[in-house]
A and B are shown apart, each in its own frame.
Chain A
């Protein structure tokens, strides 16, 4: 079912819409969650929360890009679970790598986080498509360097080097 139809059904509060959403996006949601969380149970639970979130937000939300919308909700859910519960981050290296990009102890207020997201988007949009995809696969989706490298059709060594340079640039 195409996204427009799913959104239309969700707007009508039709459970068919929810089923279609689950059928189409559950795998992607789990992929995002498993990239951040360690526990499969946590990921499963969060997946249901994500579907419920989408159900509760549409309407009034009218996402123009349902894939990205769902991914963002899934990632926020996984970060919340990681932050507030006892769940462990699946990939500690990912956070260690990102910690290189910012001075120790720096915190960001809620309003500033939006600005930082905007700045990150600007920075990412200035990169080549391959670099942008590599960075996003690694740090948004939490993919391993090996998987991100494979998806970008470069060697793992080249991906590690590219990510190192990107973090330095960031």
Chain B
């Protein structure tokens, strides 16, 4: 039996009715695929059947506060999504933050999920605790570490793969920073910004960009835009 007098005093229960719209929307299961997208997916299935590329090119515009914006070229990509049990058996653990993690080389994690991001020929991969965020519409692998042989710098790479029809990517940047948009060797745009880090004791540079249909963030400690641009060009080169 409900104790109404007690329950109506629970302020969290009632205050939840006023939480942000975005939080509510995020939890509402998407309605059936729209006709337009269904047609695109049908076309993709046909393309797959005929041996053509099944990737769907969908453009999603990123607005970074009121600062310069550019379009990301994202593609819905099929990945392996292991079950929780499979992840546990693989040695991953579910943290309090809701993310899975496993200490591994980036290539081990990429292989597990069946993705092949960027060209890392000029980089030496390093074992690190890689964070794994999986949901219906995306897979994100965070803190993959590589050593850039030319610059002698460690880079931290995050890759987001759009796996479902509902685009989940939103982004922003600290308003105090001055972002710069550059064009990479492969023609894609990248947003770079710099911020002071007490941890590294200098300026870290973060880059956000898409390449090959996936979204990436690359962080290099104690770096410059020029150095980051060279690193990114190596990562996106064929």
Contact = CB atoms under 8 A, between A and B. Distances in A.
Interface of A: 24, 28, 38, 64-65, 67-69, 71-72, 75-76, 79, 82-83, 88-89, 92, 94-95, 98-99, 101-102, 105-108, 112-114, 116-118, 120-121, 124-125, 127-134, 136-137, 139-141, 151-155, 158, 162, 165, 169-170
A162 B26 contact: no
A113 B97 contact: no
Contact of A67 (B4, B17, B28): B28
Nearest to B81: A153
Nearest to A69: B21
A152 B98 CA distance: 10
Given A136-B19, A140-B24, A153-B135, 5 more contacts: A28-B28, A65-B21, A79-B14, A113-B14, A153-B134
A95 B29 contact: no
Nearest to A74: B17
A131 B26 CA distance: 12
Contact of B11 (A102, A121, A129): A102
Nearest to B21: A68
Contacts of B24: 65, 67-68, 71-72, 136, 140
Interface centre among A75, A76, A106 (most CB of B within 10 A): A75
B12 A170 contact: yes
Contacts of A69: 21
B11 A162 contact: no
A80 B27 CA distance: 22
A17 to B, nearest CB: 18
A68 B22 contact: yes
A114 to B, nearest CB: 6
12 contacts: A24-B31, A38-B2, A64-B21, A65-B22, A76-B17, A107-B11, A113-B11, A130-B133, A141-B27, A153-B84, A169-B96, A170-B12
